[in-house]
């Protein structure tokens, strides 16, 4: 008989002896005392069998519990999978926003634009009578602290009134046209002012292909401050033909230039003016043009500024004269072909003849007749120029003393 049967029997006997009296269940110490007194020397093997039985019972119970748990989990999963509702767990990742606490240096372009902010102005010209004529909007650059401003001639030419507005100001200032040079597309205007911030111009001859440049101007007359674009010097000494004639010694840049930029500065990363923005190439049905803008180089600008100041003081502007007829080459070669030499002209005196091909003037390459016209126009009467010629395949250099062009 097992230990459990003995314990149960002892309890029944006590209940019978005491009739209806119900005693509390024996304590654990009482049970142990009875087991020890009744079992004597045979308690060791019986205790081992009890432990083994208890272990078997626990194992069976655990196995049953595991089976039941797995079944419940499987049923729950199947029920969720077959449910018509789809439950999506959403985890909200935070949007990363800069703290703004880093005191990083401003970009170089921003620094340059800030430096020029008070030297670049909007130029607004009224053409014809108010309410009848049109309006021209461009850009200007401050030359002196007492109010001299440089812009394009085509911005102010023929204007009946001109006003300028400085950055940060709400009211325009009246400007006076001092002088214009339509051939070089530069004009000098002035406002009554003191203490203006004059721009700094780069040293002539310092601009190179590949230099980083920034174009600043009031593109399309948009609200707010000037438009700032960046690029590089794409080419030098370009010549183009405009409605007003030929422009030579131009800087070509891929910095975006638009209407309203005319007269604004092209500057290097030091904030020095390297050119005055004047034109942009536009595509047509037969050709495409992308980011091809032109600026009058600082080498040319500085010369013309002094000529404009002289004009403003009453000195007549006179252009050089060579005395030749020209045509462009159609064989793909460089230069301009002489088609006529006026008798007694500077060209005639220098020994230039018909069919000579002009390759350069004072070392500046000539690529087409417009380039030669512009080069001679920019010189002054009495100036000696060296003209490189190709004649029957042989290169020669002639020196001519220019005369004054007459209308």
Name the residues annotated as catalytic: 154, 185, 262
Q: Which of 362, 371, 378 has the alpha carbon at shortest distance from 335? A: 371
Contact yes or no for 156/311 (Cβ under 8 A): no
CA nearest to 267, candidates 228, 315, 307, 318:
228
Nearest to 214 by CA among 193, 203, 230, 235: 230
Secondary structure E strands in 51-119: none
Spatial neighbors of 99 by CB under 8 A, at least 6 apart, are: none
- Judge contact between 266 and 277, C-beta under 8 A: yes
* H or E element that contains 403: strand 403-404
Residue 205 token pair = 């001859």
Check: CB of residue 116 under 8 Å from CB of residue 199: yes
DSSP string, 33-45: HHHHHHHGGGHHH
Provide the angle, in degrees to the nearest 10, between the axes of the packed helices 3-17 and 28-39.
110
DSSP run (H or E) holding 372: helix 369-378
Ordered DSSP codes for 168-231: T-SS-EEEEEEEEETTTTEEEEEES-SS-----BPPTT---TT-EEEEEE-GGG-SSS-EEEEE
Q: What is the largest CA-CA distance in the chain?
A: 164
């Amino acid at each position: 008989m097992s230990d459990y049967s003995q314990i149960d029997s002892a309890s029944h006997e006590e209940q019978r002896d005491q009739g209806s009296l119900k005693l509390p269940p024996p304590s654990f110490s009482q049970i142990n005392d009875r087991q020890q007194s009744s079992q004597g020397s045979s308690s060791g093997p019986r205790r081992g069998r009890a432990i083994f039985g208890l272990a078997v019972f626990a194992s069976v119970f655990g196995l049953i519990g595991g089976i039941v748990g797995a079944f419940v989990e499987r049923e729950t999963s199947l029920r969720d999978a077959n449910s018509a509702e789809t439950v999506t767990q959403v985890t909200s990742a935070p949007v990363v926003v800069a703290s703004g606490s880093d005191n990083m240096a401003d970009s170089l372009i921003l620094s340059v634009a800030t430096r020029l902010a008070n030297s670049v102005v909007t130029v607004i010209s009224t053409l014809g009578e108010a309410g009848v004529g049109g309006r021209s909007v461009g850009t200007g650059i401050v030359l002196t602290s007492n109010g001299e401003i440089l812009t394009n001639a085509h911005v102010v030419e023929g204007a009946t009134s001109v006003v300028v507005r400085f950055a940060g100001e709400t009211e325009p200032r009246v400007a006076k046209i001092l002088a214009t040079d339509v051939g070089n597309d530069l004009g000098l205007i002035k406002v009554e002012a003191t203490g203006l911030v004059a721009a700094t111009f780069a040293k002539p001859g310092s601009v190179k292909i590949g230099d980083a440049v920034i174009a600043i101007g009031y593109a399309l007359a948009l609200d707010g401050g000037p438009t700032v674009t960046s690029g590089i010097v794409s080419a030098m000494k370009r010549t183009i033909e405009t409605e007003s004639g030929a422009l030579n010694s131009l800087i070509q840049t891929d910095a975006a230039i638009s209407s309203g930029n005319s007269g604004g500065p092209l500057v290097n990363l030091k904030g020095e003016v390297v050119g005055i923005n004047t034109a942009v190439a536009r595509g047509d049905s037969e050709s495409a043009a992308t980011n091809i803008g032109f600026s009058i180089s600082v080498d040319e600008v500085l010369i013309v500024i002094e000529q404009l100041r002289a004009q403003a003081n009453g000195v007549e502007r006179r252009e050089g004269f060579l005395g030749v007829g020209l045509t462009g080459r159609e064989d793909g070669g460089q230069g301009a072909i002489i088609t006529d030499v006026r008798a007694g002209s500077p060209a005639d005196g220098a020994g230039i003849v018909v069919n000579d091909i002009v390759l350069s003037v004072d070392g500046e390459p000539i690529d087409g007749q417009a380039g030669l016209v512009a080069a001679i126009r920019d010189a002054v009467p009495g100036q000696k120029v060296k003209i490189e010629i190709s004649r029957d395949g042989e290169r020669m250099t002639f020196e001519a003393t220019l005369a004054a062009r007459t209308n």
